Amino acid sequence: MAPERLDWLLDADPRHYDLLAKWMTGDEKEEFAYHWPFWARRAQLPPPGDWRVWLVMAGRGFGKTRTGAEWVREVAEANPQARIALVSASLAEARAVMVEGESGLLACCPPERSPVFEASLRRLRFPNGAVAQLYSAAEPETLRGPQHSHAWCDEIGKWPLSHDRATQCWDNLQMGLRLGEDQRIAVTTTPRSVPLIHRLIAGKTSGSTVVTKGSTQDNSGNLPGQFLAAMESEFAGTQLGRQELDGELIGDVEGALWTRSLIDAARSSDQQTIHARIVVAVDPPASARGDACGIVVAALGEDGIGKVLADCSVENASPEQWARAVANASAAWSADRVIAEANQGGAMVESVLRAADCHMPVKLVHASRGKVARAEPVAALYEAGKVRHCGLFARLEDQLCGLMAGGTYEGPGRSPDRADALVWALSELMLGRIQAPRVMNV
């Protein structure tokens, strides 16, 4: 049934649903539950036209995975000769999300037409003969040789960038897309300012790429209210929120020390490694009505990797309030030291922390260089893959992406207070023992 023919049903009186239910047989009712053109929003249905790439670039929870899985099901059921590539950042993600996930292929197919997943062969076989094969973007050479008629590429924004693997994977996929009469690719991803996404968007000018955009709110009817409220509270007004929730492609500031892709590459959910040290770094505000008090918790693992564990910064706080926030963060993370910038008040900073029952050793550090100059060696640690972000820290990451190599700050707010606290923390953990080179007589 074509989408336009369902308009009358979408706008029908509830009594019509009761009549329809009485008219339908048991088999029809079961089939109707899987009739995607009725349940889908229009943005989740394939666009008309002679496109080669359909890029669905939308926020978290939009329904991108379901959109891709339903498109693959439509292709497979309509064409027994279809040979479909399913490509994700890793084979584990391809299986967990694209195949076995809550919105994956096995969940969206009717039981009597569900494909058989041959895990050892990384392959799905549909009852009519269509086949879908799993691939990892981390292994682009596996796509050199196989031929396909269609492909579904998931989260290309997080495909591995090292050694240009994301681009190699896409190129190899393109070269093997030569079966059938109408080769097409569906791409579902959260926006990321990476070369491959910019390349696909550039295809709009030639008509080869059609872009569908959307936000988390577009699917609010199917998302828990508590989740939506939490996302609004945590990310509203941030650039990361515009990217992850609103589905907006946020470009990097040219010349910034940190880029979105650099931070995304450092993203990790692992907080369980043994930590050799944990510190809480503080960038105190000049006044309660001024900038935020930057408070960042970071750790150094026994593997030598630095980890950003929490951003506990507070806005418009009195000295007593931010000192209490520091004490709470120290206790919650069992920190072994507090690092506090002493330029704003010197010994007063330590006395305020003591008054707030902060029993951790306090190390006062003095800024002899500007914020950006101090940040440059820490940014180099990210470039070397030596830092991980254990979570999403929207406001902190916005500030990092505003620190410019030229010595200026072009991020949100007047001052990168959160970013400065992070710099102090990682400098203490990872740069504190570095000595200047010296010449030795032998």
Are 38 and 223 in contact by the 8 Å Cβ rule? The answer is no
Does any domain span residue 9?
Answer: no
Residue count (the chain): 442
Token pair 């709110």 is found at: 217
Q: Do 306 and 368 have their domain in common?
A: yes
Q: Do 110 and 208 have their domain in common?
A: yes
Q: Do 265 and 184 have their domain in common?
A: no
Contacts of 121 (CB under 8 A, 6+ apart): none
Residue 208 has pLDDT above 60, yes or no: yes
Q: Do 80 and 208 have their domain in common?
A: yes
Pairing of strands 131-136, 83-88: parallel
Does any domain span residue 255?
Answer: no
Q: Do 214 and 95 have their domain in common?
A: yes
Residue 266 domain boundaries: 260-431
Does any domain span residue 6?
Answer: no
CATH number reported for the structural domain that contains residue 360 in this entry: 3.30.420.240
| β-bridge mates for residue 209, sequence order | 53
Residue 439 has pLDDT above 50, yes or no: no
Q: Do 117 and 172 have their domain in common?
A: yes
Residue with the larger pLDDT of the pair 377 and 436: 377
Q: Do 45 and 157 have their domain in common?
A: yes
Mean pLDDT of the chain: 87
The reported pTM is: 0.76
Q: Do 119 and 267 have their domain in common?
A: no
Q: How confident is the model at residue 7 (pLDDT cuts 50, 70, 90)?
A: low
Question: What's the mean pLDDT in 84-106?
Answer: 97
Determine the Cα–Cα distance for residues 271 and 230; give it in Å rounded to an integer. Answer: 22
- The per-residue pLDDT for 289 is 62
Does any domain span residue 23?
Answer: no
Q: Do 280 and 166 have their domain in common?
A: no
Q: Do 70 and 185 have their domain in common?
A: yes
CATH number reported for the structural domain that contains residue 210 in this entry: 3.40.50.300
- As for how many domains the chain has, the answer is 2
Does any domain span residue 28?
Answer: no
Q: Do 265 and 216 have their domain in common?
A: no
Of residues 439, 418, 284, the one with CA closest to residue 356:
284
- The per-residue pLDDT for 438 is 45
Stated as kind and residue range, the H or E segment containing 244 is helix 239-244
Stated as kind and residue range, the H or E segment containing 234 is helix 225-235
Question: What's the mean pLDDT in 402-408?
Answer: 85
- The per-residue pLDDT for 356 is 65
Does any domain span residue 147?
Answer: yes
Quote the radius of gyration of the chain (alpha carbons, Å). Answer: 26
Does any domain span residue 241?
Answer: no
Q: How confident is the model at residue 253 (pLDDT cuts 50, 70, 90)?
A: confident
Q: Do 168 and 308 have their domain in common?
A: no
Domain boundary among 194, 222, 250: 222
Does any domain span residue 440?
Answer: no
Token pair 């649903």 is found at: 17
Residue 192 has pLDDT above 50, yes or no: yes
Residue with the larger pLDDT of the pair 392 and 131: 131
Domain boundary among 195, 222, 249: 222
Domain boundary among 170, 199, 222: 222
